[in-house]
Amino acid sequence: MQRVTTLKQLAEAVASARERELEVALVPTMGALHDGHLSLIREARRHTPFVVVSIFVNPLQFGAGEDFDKYPRDIEADAEKLRSMAVDVLFTPTVNDLYRGNMDVTESAGKIGDLYEGAARPAHFDGMLTVVARLFEAVRADYAVFGAKDAQQLFLIRQMAKAKFPNLKVIEAPTIREASGLAMSSRNQYLDAKNLEVASKLLAALRVGQGAGAISPALVIDAVRNEMLKVPEAKLDYIALVEADTFEPVVTGFSGRAVLLIAAVVGQTRLIDNIDIKF
Ligand code: AMP
């Protein structure tokens, strides 16, 4: 595994794949790697043997008072995991390496960027898209792999890629969970045993919504809300049922793939999760 930090080193490493006529896959992460991240690498490998993983905690996507400073960072442990998976290139830029002194937010997540996670975290998605755009420009990959866990993020990245990176194939990988059902997340490190148990109720509530029968969107949401009432330790932010293709709220009569979204704060930690429902 080659570990690079500058854009120039990265371009050279990717060029070596191109010389061998290999396609390139990119897996962007913020590090503190867990099995969810590693599953994205396995997914990337299904498309090409040459995989680039980036680790960068992007200041532009954290709001004031969020956890940028205390976000878990363990680059040596991460590098070891990636080495054991035979990742080709690990890109670990500093803020200056990646942004070259220009931290302008260049991307707009548009109307959907202001809803759900965007409503709770203003400017988060514009900052996220900006770093993803810089990474796409730097790597010029054929594939980029993202987790279904961050469904709204994935939707917005697809939207941006369609408009600005039409040759890039954006690949979705399923959410990897703990045995309790809790979606793996680097932020789960913030949770103690009690809060880990509380956090596992999010999926349980989504499943009750899924079981409510995909007939009426309101019934699905009510079922999840009622289930969350039994877990007052989790401060519910939103439950939403959206069309997978548009992220617009599902209305009665809709037929197709929908995503049931939930966000709650457990202890001090904001958690999100989602599952698919077929209407
Ligand atoms: P992060 O490091 O949290 O920014 O996540 C990097 C990538 O890993 C994103 O595409 C996430 O959606 C994905 N990811 C995070 N957690 C999981 C998980 N539990 N299962 C699958 N993918 C995940």
CB atoms inside a 10 Å sphere around CB 194: 11
User: Do both 190 and 60 map to the same domain?
Assistant: no
Q: pLDDT tens-digit profile of 96-148?
A: 999 999 999 999 999 999 999 999 999 999 999 999 999 999 999 999 999 99
User: Do both 107 and 49 map to the same domain?
Assistant: yes
Measured in Å, residue 37 CA sits from the centre of ligand 1 at 6
Mean pLDDT of the chain: 97
**Assigned domain for 20 exists:** yes
Kindly state if the Cβ of 30 falls inside 6 Å of ligand 1: yes
Closest by Cα among 98, 186, 196 to 149: 186
Query: Average pLDDT, stretch 169-195?
Result: 98
**Residue 146 Cα: closest atom of ligand 1:** 10
Kindly state if the Cβ of 39 falls inside 6 Å of ligand 1: yes
Measured in Å, residue 35 CA sits from the centre of ligand 1 at 9
Q: Is residue 229 over pLDDT 80?
A: yes
Please report where in the chains the tokens 């220009």 appear, as a residue: 102
Q: Look at ligand 1, atom 18, and give the residue with the nearest C-alpha.
A: 36
User: Do both 6 and 123 map to the same domain?
Assistant: yes
- C-alpha distances (whole Å) from 250 to each of 63, 223, 244 are 29, 15, 9
Report the C-alpha gap between 113 and 128 in whole angstroms. Answer: 10
Q: Is residue 214 over pLDDT 80?
A: no
Kindly state if the Cβ of 184 falls inside 6 Å of ligand 1: yes
- CATH code for the domain of 248: 3.30.1300.10
User: Do both 200 and 163 map to the same domain?
Assistant: no
**Residue 185 Cα: closest atom of ligand 1:** 16
- How many domains are there within the chain? 2
Return the best residue to mutate from 26, 27, 29 for the ligand 1 pocket (most ligand atoms within 8 A of CB). 29
Report the C-alpha gap between 183 and 188 in whole angstroms. Answer: 9
Query: Average pLDDT, stretch 223-238?
Result: 98
For position 69, what pLDDT does the model report?
96
**Assigned domain for 180 exists:** no
User: Do both 223 and 142 map to the same domain?
Assistant: no
The domain of 248 spans 186-274
Which domain-ending residue is among 151, 173, 195? 173
User: Do both 207 and 237 map to the same domain?
Assistant: yes
For position 215, what pLDDT does the model report?
82
Phi and psi at 61, nearest 5°, equal -105, 5
Residue 20, classified by CB atoms within 10 Å of its CB into exposed (0-12), middle (13-18) or buried (19+), is exposed
Percent of the chain residues topping a pLDDT of 90: 99
Exposure string for 217-240, b = 16+ CB within 10 A, e = fewer: beebbebbeebbeebeebebbebb
For the annotated catalytic residues, the residue numbers are 37
- CATH code for the domain of 36: 3.40.50.620
pTM: 0.97
**Assigned domain for 181 exists:** no
User: Do both 203 and 150 map to the same domain?
Assistant: no
Measured in Å, residue 119 CA sits from the centre of ligand 1 at 21
Report the C-alpha gap between 47 and 51 in whole angstroms. Answer: 9
Q: pLDDT tens-digit profile of 267-277?
A: 999 999 999 99
User: Do both 87 and 224 map to the same domain?
Assistant: no
Q: Is residue 226 over pLDDT 80?
A: yes
Query: Average pLDDT, stretch 57-80?
Result: 97
**Assigned domain for 260 exists:** yes
Measured in Å, residue 274 CA sits from the centre of ligand 1 at 13
Amino acid (1-letter code) at residue 232: P
Kindly state if the Cβ of 173 falls inside 6 Å of ligand 1: yes
User: Do both 108 and 193 map to the same domain?
Assistant: no
For position 22, what pLDDT does the model report?
98
Q: Which are the contacts of 34, defined by CB distance < 8 A and separation ≥ 6?
A: 176, 184, 185, 186, 188
**Residue 145 Cα: closest atom of ligand 1:** 10
Percent of the chain residues topping a pLDDT of 70: 100
**Assigned domain for 279 exists:** no
**Residue 148 Cα: closest atom of ligand 1:** 12
**Assigned domain for 248 exists:** yes
Which domain-ending residue is among 131, 149, 173? 173
Q: Is residue 213 over pLDDT 90?
A: no
For position 71, what pLDDT does the model report?
97
Measured in Å, residue 176 CA sits from the centre of ligand 1 at 9
**Assigned domain for 178 exists:** no
User: Do both 89 and 157 map to the same domain?
Assistant: yes
User: Do both 69 and 138 map to the same domain?
Assistant: yes
Measured in Å, residue 233 CA sits from the centre of ligand 1 at 25
Report the C-alpha gap between 178 and 57 in whole angstroms. Answer: 24
**pLDDT class for 81, splitting at 50, 70, 90?**
very high
Query: Average pLDDT, stretch 148-152?
Result: 98
The DSSP output letter for 34 is -
Q: Look at ligand 1, atom 6, and give the residue with the nearest C-alpha.
A: 29
Query: Average pLDDT, stretch 218-224?
Result: 97
Which domain-ending residue is among 173, 197, 230? 173
**Assigned domain for 221 exists:** yes
User: Do both 161 and 76 map to the same domain?
Assistant: yes
Q: Is residue 159 over pLDDT 80?
A: yes
Q: Look at ligand 1, atom 19, and give the residue with the nearest C-alpha.
A: 184
